[in-house]
Each structure stands twice: as C-alpha cells, then as structure tokens.
Structure 1
Amino acid sequence: MKPGKLVLDRAAVSKELLHNAQILDNVEAQFRGMATAHRAIKVYRNEDSNRGNVVATIPKAIEDAHRGTLAGFPGRLTL
C-alpha cells in the first residue's frame, strides 16, 4: 500500500478553523479555566489578524518555578 497524501485547502482551513468563533470560544474557555492555576497567567484572544487565536502568557520566572504550568495547556486542550 502506498502512503496517502493529505492536501488542505488553505482558504477553507482559514475559514472553518482559524476564524471559527465556536472553536475559539471553546479554546478560550478552556484556557481561562486552566489559567486559574496561577493568578499571573493571562489569556488573550485575537481575531483581528488573518487568523484567530487564543494566547496564554505567564512570566518566565513563574513558569520556571512551576515547571510546565503553561507548557501543559495545549496537551489538556480538547476540541
């Protein structure tokens, strides 16, 4: 059996995933829930660029002290 090839339509992916308000709402809600782990974690949502995104930030010193707090967010995310 030959390996398959996956080709994504960039415009469709952008419209269906990167600008999907329901997905962004879901991700933002989960990140805000995870951000309660430490008061220094801030969650931002940006939909003004060519793709929507949700960003969580934490000062490096706090992330170092609580190793992996922020790094574990994507692994716990469900869509």
Structure 2
Amino acid sequence: MSGKVKVVLNRANVSRQLLHNTQLLDDVQAQVEGMAQVHPAIKVYRNEDGDRGNVVATIPMAVEDAHRGLMADMLAKVRV
C-alpha cells in the first residue's frame, strides 16, 4: 500500500522538546564547533534567549567565497 502521509507538529511541543532541549543544543554545538576548526575565521555562537534555542556559525564572506560551499557542507553534516 502506498500513499501520502501528512505529519502535523504541535508547535508548543516542538519548541519545548526540541528548540529548548539543552542536550540537543549541546550536541549540535559540539558538532558545529568541531567542524568550524577547519578555519579560524568561523565563529560559533549559541542563542537561547528567544522563542527557540539555536546554534549559529558565521564566516566572513571573503572566506566563504574562497571556500565556496563550506558552510552548506558543515550544515549538511550536522546529525540530530
């Protein structure tokens, strides 16, 4: 049997269980910081002050231009 499946997420539960999950954010931050070691210009920040927690990696445009796709490659390798 094949067919389409519709998944509906409860926004409040997702926010509480995923976006404010300290263990999950710790794991993502560790992964991103490990990958960020490829270039000293990459900076990693963690933000838990808003509606959701997140891990942010920044890179100067000149570095990204020289290593096209580096940030996208890093993000694609993060595992949850």
2:27 equivalent to 1:26: yes
Report the RMSD for the aligned CA atoms in angstroms: 1.0
**1:65 — aligned with what?**
66
Cα distance in structure 2, aligned partners of 1:65 and 1:39: 14
2:10 equivalent to 1:13: no
2:75 equivalent to 1:77: no
SS in 2 for 1:71: helix
Structure 2 residue runs without a partner (length 5+) = none
Cα distance in structure 1, aligned partners of 2:75 and 2:63: 18
Cα distance in structure 2, aligned partners of 1:59 and 1:71: 14
When the two structures are aligned, how many residues end up with a matched partner? Answer: 79
Cα distance in structure 2, aligned partners of 1:25 and 1:48: 15
Deviation at 1:4, TM superposition (A): 2.1
Identity %: 59
**2:36 — aligned with what?**
35
TM-score by length of 1: 0.94
TM-score by length of 2: 0.93
Q: What amino acid is aligned across from residue 46 of structure 1 in structure 2?
A: N
Deviation at 1:70, TM superposition (A): 1.3
Q: What amino acid is aligned across from residue 71 of structure 1 in structure 2?
A: A
Deviation at 1:66, TM superposition (A): 1.0
2:48 equivalent to 1:53: no
